[in-house]
Structure 1
Amino acid sequence: MSSGRIRRSLALGAVVLAAAVLLGVAGAGAAQAQAQAGRCAGHKVRTLSFSTGKVLVYKKRGYVCAVTVAKRPGARKSMSVSVQARGSRPARDKGRYTHHAGPVTVHAGHRCVWVKGKVGGGSTSSGWILC
C-alpha cells in the first residue's frame, strides 16, 4: 500500500470517528432538551422546598412560571401548582402525577406573584414575592 493511500485511509477513519462523536453529543443534548420540555423557560429565581417536594419558580421577560416536583417520584399522588400575579386570577395545574405538576405560567410584568405547591400531604405557599 502506498503512503498516500494510508494517509487517505487514516483521514477517512478520523472523519468517521469525529462524526460518531458529534452524533453522540447531539443525541445526549436532544435527550436533555426532551427531559427539560416539561419545565419552564427562563432563569430560576426561587426554589420553595417542603417536606414532600419543591416548587421551582422561573422568570423570563415579565412571565413567571412554576412547576412542583415530587421529592420521591414514582407512584401517582395528588400534586398541584399555582401562580397568581397580584390583581389577576391564579393559573393552576392539579391532578395525580408521578413526577411533577405544571408548568403553569402567568404574565406578571412588574407585579408581585404568589406561588403555591402541593405533593401528597405536604405543601408550600410563598406569600407575595418577586415584587
Structure 2
Amino acid sequence: MLAVCLAAGALTVAAPGTGQADAASVCTGRPAKTVAFATGELRLYRTRHYACAIAVAKAPGARRYMSVQLQPRGGRAAVDEGRFTRQAGPVTVHALNRCVRATGNVGGATVSTGWILCR
C-alpha cells in the first residue's frame, strides 16, 4: 500500500510540469507567417476566427528574457513575457476580419511585424 501511495505521489509531482508544458507549447491553426531574427523566430498561426503567436529561441538552453505580444486591430494585446528556456507564448487573440500585429523578443533582440494577416 505504501509503495502505491509513493508511486501515485511521484506521478502527481511529475505530471503537471511535463504534460502541461507540452500541451501549451504550440498554436492551433495553419502557419501564416514566420519572421526570423538574430536570436529566434516569431511564428504566427491563423484559424478562421483566431490568430496565435509564439517567440522561439534559436538556441534553447539557459533561462533568459523572452516575450511575445499579439494585438488585433482595435483590440487589446495578449502578452506572455518572462525568463524562459525555449519559447514565450503561445498567445491567442480573436481576429475574425481583423489585422493583427505581433512582436517577439528573445534575449534582447526584437522583431515586430506591423499590421498583417488582414482579411
Same fold by TM (over 0.5)? yes
What is the aligned partner in structure 1 of residue 83 from structure 2?
96
Aligned-pair distance for 1:110? 1.0
What is the aligned partner in structure 2 of residue 107 from structure 1?
94
1:56-112 C-alpha deviation (Å, 9 max, x unpaired): 100012100000000110000000001000001100000000000000000010111
Contiguous gaps of at least 5 residues in structure 1: 1-33
Q: Give the % identical residues.
A: 53
Are the aligned partners of 2:24 and 2:90 in contact in 1 as well (CA < 8 Å)? Answer: no
What is the aligned partner in structure 2 of residue 67 from structure 1?
54
Letter in 1 for 2:77: P
What is the aligned partner in structure 2 of residue 86 from structure 1?
73
TM-score w.r.t. the length of structure 1 is 0.72
- In 2, the alpha carbon distance for the partners of 1:56 and 1:67 equals 5
3-state secondary structure, aligned to 2:98: coil
Contiguous gaps of at least 5 residues in structure 2: 1-20
Larger radius of gyration: 1
Please give the residue correspondences for 1:1-131 in structure 2 after superposition, counting only pairs within 5 Å.
35=22, 37-131=24-118
More helix by share: 1
Change in Cα spacing, 1:92 to 1:37, as seen in structure 2 (3 Å) is closer
